[in-house]
Structure 1
Amino acid sequence: MAEDRTVVEIDGRRVSLSHLGRLLYPGSGTTKAGVLHYYTQVAPALLPHLADRPASFLRCPDGVDGERFWAKNIPLGAPDWIPTLDVVHHAGSTRQIVLADLATLMWSANLSNLEIHVPQWRIAPELHDRLVVDLDPGEGTTMLHCCAAALAVRQALERDGLRAWPKTSGSKGLHLGVPLRPTAAGRVSRYAERLARRLATDLPELIVSRMAVEARRGRVFLDWSQNASAKTTVAPYSLRARSVPTVSAPVTWAEVADCRDPAGLVFTADQVAERLARDGDLWAQLTDPEAAQELPAG
């Protein structure tokens, strides 16, 4: 039997693609070829959000119903042209992939790295260029509660002179991104914690800032810890490893404010590709140096 493998040339790089008919999302019938096609469609918007950031992946070699595991270190046998970054942490160091171009993205997607997660910093973990507000619905709450919390967070940020852009997590919640001028990591984390505690005090029936599971019931958890240098957040336009290929999708504030059905802010790969073609990158400001902001003093 002939091996299910083809070699394509992308920007002068030879990329080997294999098992293109493998079913990765049984719930939608999406194959590896479909995943590769999606990432090709969104690459012009996705790649700027990944530039200079070490990537972590949720890898599902046999699809979302099979074994899954986190992958950080560059795998053995990777082409020597794959860009990497050495990341030092308390347990040692990892040599991680940087998805700098379409060839690298396609090579990575061919490994069934369905989800792409990146930190809030580029190159140097001690300087962050992004604040993320992670809104996670607790037991008994839905996306509608997340939308209400997001609007409250938006107001609080505006009072501090900061603009934020929303996206879905592709799972249950919302993320708000705030582009920053390079800022000391500790300062960003401290601001995120103060913001979360302030909102939890002002809106105790809606928002909680404590991580304990029992504290989250009936409320939205504002996970300020996502701003630690060691933490990562799913990238905009990344697929999620759920029953169907949902996506962490940038949305407008009008969509957040007008949402009346939790399903209204769930987007699949096909829908996101259509939205991107129609609306452009709704998170483009997060990669625009002119949009970078200064955290308030304190």
Structure 2
Amino acid sequence: MTEVIDGEAVAADVRAGVADCVDTLADAGVTPGLATVLMSDDPASETYVSMKQRDCEEVGIEGIHVDVDADASAATLFETIDELNGRDDVHGVLVQLPVPAHVDRREVLRRIDPEKDVDGFHPENVGRLVAGDARYKPCTPHGVQKLLAAYDVETDGADAVVIGRSDIVGKPMANLLVQKGPGGNATTTVCHSHTSDLESKLADADIVVAAAGIPEFVDGSMITSGATVIDVGINRVDADTDRGYELVGDVAYDSVADVAGAITPVPGGVGPMTRAMLLYNTVKAAGRQHDVDVDLP
């Protein structure tokens, strides 16, 4: 019987632990604050930001939101980031990606104070992650790590395959799995669009993390019996529904569920964990900046 990994339930546990840490910070006179910056007219980006602000409110984190006109100059965005970097009540700064084409995305990430970079994308924080001394782990890969731990999926000595090499998921996920220590020690292979014979790479995988951004790219014929399959993808495809579309992952769920030992659904798997780990990082940042020990879950 394939086990369905319930991301909503694990995320709820993380949020409860984060709320306890917010209380600890309150006892020390600190209210953690997360600033979100949106420079886009994209409805999906607006929705993501509003969800993050709502999550903050639910656990007691102060949400600060700034809209920057999508047609404004890059300098305007950078000035906004600089101002938030300097605010004592802001412990985490998140610029919702993507930004407009006339703004250098990498410069945006470099502009955020590394101590307030709760996405974990600043080059300094990426370097610390690779070196095994992470300040803040990127939210989605860290969320996957938490899911594996919650369901007692053994990474130590396991063969893991990460499909995708993005800066946001693929690369940091592989780094977390290969690190020494809990949640790591896996023999990790990274596959991508130039990988030949993907099926052979997956044939012996105990853990598969699919983050290719291609709808239902991985099917049951590619997965070994009993493997744990984590589907990071979320893709909108045309469907005969009231909305005219449905959300599917990078994994053909029914096909893979027939052979996998455990699998995450889409939605309800990795997505809730990404948002929960953002709260986790924000509280961690507040504790670091005010020298308050918080017992994060």
Is the TM value for this pair above 0.5?
Answer: no
**Higher fraction of strand:** 1
**Higher fraction of helix:** 2
Q: Compare relative contact order (CA 8 Å, sep 6+) and give the higher one, 1 or 2.
A: 2
